Amino acid sequence: MNPVFFYPGMLLLGVGVGLLSAALGLGGGILMVPAFLEFVPGMDPHTAKGSSLMIIVCVAAVNVWRLNRGHIDWQWRLALNVAMGSIAAGYLAGWVTQYFADQVITWMFIALLGFVGVRTFFIEAPHVAPDEVRRRNVLAILIGIVVGADSGLTGTGGGTLLVPLALLAGITSNARVVALSVMVMVPTCLAAAIAHMLQSPNPDIELPWTIGRVNLALVPLVFLGAQVGSPLGKWVNDRLTLRVRRTVMGLVLIIIAGRLLMRVLSS
């Protein structure tokens, strides 16, 4: 691809990643993986999700600082409990997927996009007030295992599952659930990214600055764009109604799933 279009395109992708991460507690992988497959020449599904995970580490780390200033409290202990399960599951899932065919990875991502897209239209997140929060350490670890497996298998941050599960379990409040999500994403995605870096690179693909199944050249481009998108995401989120945000997100996810489905069927 012509660098004149490629580099600005990856920066714009980063804007979208930052917007999703700051506004909804998502790592942006649900957008990055299909975008990498579509726009990065020679990218395979394994390297796409490995690269996505490494970028999420950087984006989420900045959002941890942004969202937790003045909140050094028991939420950090909760994040540690969730991470106890998510780190192990994220690494294991990231390592195991090297034995999956490329099309299997793509079908898994299509299924995830379709599920989340449809769910976005219909499910209302429960409201949990600060005084309703309960400390459930074992449940937090179990949620972490589910989130870590999702992250390592699909290359997403895991916020797609963590946000609703944490609210359903009542282990955090609506006001603090996004902050919890980004705190857990950092160690979870780092573990899964390391598992991808330790894998053998695809011999048929020549992408510079690739270690195992992680392309490091994409990291600074998408990360810089994300720093623009993160404040924008908070601004938009404060002004959109739940109904509008839910409808737009559902449509976007279903459109991406449809594009990936067309890609698989035509290959």
Say if residue 236's pLDDT is above 90: no
pLDDT tens digits for 22-42?
Answer: 676 555 788 888 888 888 878
Give the predicted TM-score (pTM) of the model.
Answer: 0.85
pLDDT tens digit string along 49-105?
Answer: 999 999 989 888 888 887 777 655 657 888 999 999 999 999 999 999 999 988 898
Give the dihedral of Cα atoms 68, 70, 75, 77; nearest 10 deg.
100
Between strands 214-215 and 210-211, the pairing is: antiparallel
Average pLDDT score over the chain: 83
Three-state secondary structure call for residue 93: helix
Mean pLDDT of the region 187-191: 95
Determine the Cα–Cα distance for residues 266 and 199; give it in Å rounded to an integer.
Answer: 28
Q: What is the pLDDT of residues 145-179, one digit of tens each?
A: 999 998 999 888 777 788 888 888 888 888 788 88
Query: Which of 4-13, 101-110, 147-156 has the weakest average pLDDT?
Result: 4-13
State residue 70's pLDDT score. 61
